[in-house]
Amino acid sequence: MDKFTKYALILMGAIVIVMLITTYVGYTLFGPSVFETRYLTIIEDQAKQYGRSLSWVVELGVTGEAIGFGLAGAIAGFIIGYLIPSVFGNPGEKK
């Protein structure tokens, strides 16, 4: 694997670790209320002023959430499955 790909993978891992740490700290300091989606209520309130309903745009429901996370997991699995052989190399491959 080339140097750019290794640095990209390291950077992605570092970004994920930083996001996990900041989420944990935010949840610990502010409690679960920090994860309220206040912007969704603002959007919906503004839509009501214009006589429109935008709740279907921002809320997927339980089924939609499961489908979304399932697709994200499948896509990430394909990407990681494609990259792992190039990261670790093929044991039978001569260099």
Cβ contact 47:53 at 8 Å: yes
Quote the pLDDT of residue 21: 93
Quote the pLDDT of residue 81: 77
Is residue 37 within a helix (H) or strand (E), and if so which, with residue range?
none
User: What tens-digit pLDDT sequence spans the chain (95 residues)?
Assistant: 678 878 888 888 899 999 999 888 887 887 766 556 666 677 777 777 877 766 555 556 667 778 888 889 898 888 887 777 766 666 555 55
Cβ contact 88:3 at 8 Å: no
- How many helices and strands in the chain, by DSSP H and E? 4, 0
DSSP letter assigned to residue 51: T
Quote the pLDDT of residue 48: 79
Is residue 53 within a helix (H) or strand (E), and if so which, with residue range?
none
